[in-house]
Structure 1
Amino acid sequence: MKLVVGISGASGTQLALKFLEHIPKEYALFVVISQSAKRVARAEEGLDLKSTLKQWQRPLEIFEESQINAPIASGSFGIDAMAIIPASLNIVAKIAHGICDELMSRAAAVMLKEQKKLLIAPRELPLHSIALENLLALARAQVIIAPPMLTYYTKPQDLESMELFLVGKWLDALGIDNHLYTRWGQPC
């Protein structure tokens, strides 16, 4: 299985890292990092995002958004699914309007044309009407819109358990088995 993860310039790069940590080892991982994501990671977490990912103990390929000729920019490469976590409203607008001027939006367009799973986790609050219209256009194109919304039925004890709930829901939406959160009807 081949999975692309886009990390855009919205707040919440920590959620992207948490998501990547829980992808099963048998998945080939391809990560696209936007310039804005690098700036946000440095501001929020004090991280050099690319260096942090290069030090991981699992194989993954890291791409810059400028690498428009990367294999993931072609449907013939055979990507199975893609998630953009967090998704800035900029990347949401580009995908909704078919603008493929960098690798993340091009890879998303490939998912659409190949009718593969594409999950977008928009990270903005509140949302204005233009953003909502863009998200609606994506939902109509069968994109999974999964914003990072908190839950309370799991009785979260800390930020970590809230993050694991989100990651688990995203994995569920992509059809990736996980046991990261208490499901409805299970004892908390």
Structure 2
Amino acid sequence: MVKRVLFQTALDKGYISSNQLQKVEEYRAETNVSDERALLDLKIVTEENLMKLYYDIYGYEMVTSIKNIEADAFTLKCRYKTLLDISFIPIMKDNKVHIITAKPQNSLFAEDYIRETTNYKGGFTYSLITETNLRKLISKAFNVENESVDLENFESSADTPSNVYDVSENDSSAIVNLVNRILREAIENKISDIHFEPQADHLRV
């Protein structure tokens, strides 16, 4: 069985017991939901503890209050639904894009989307946030009062490609770029195993 970093960290840090680990792994295998979704669905961890788990894994600072966080013009270059799907919001900070994310494992997708959409060429900094607070920030940025809003107004733009991950047989540059970025991050972080897990709406690495 492949060692699941999130589950193992939760066990090592005392967030879950061995019995809970077995239950969440069984649930994950049966439903094919993501690791974090399995933990939340079974109410084994709270969103706050999930954020702390990501801190233990990635080391990014944690956002515990969104009171003083404001989206900016750079944020609005992105699509509302894409930010929700990838679970992040970008803000320009000191001439560098700061990504506030609820799913740091999606960082490569977030960076690629930002570069494809805005032509941004610089680096990135990160911080962690709960999914609930992230959705509040995104909704506030786009003046959306609730999640039942019709998303069609946010899904299409003449300046934005309909899907930056749609790659034809004659254009493999996006795939090559993604693979190169994954390999680079693996080398930088001395990661020996890389696993690809196709999900319903994205690829988990």
Structure with the higher helix share, 1 or 2:
2
More strand by percentage: 1
- Tell which has more relative contact order, 1 or 2 (C-alpha 8 A, sep 6+): 1
The alignment's TM-score, normalised by the length of structure 1, stands at: 0.28
Please say which structure displays the higher CA radius of gyration: 2
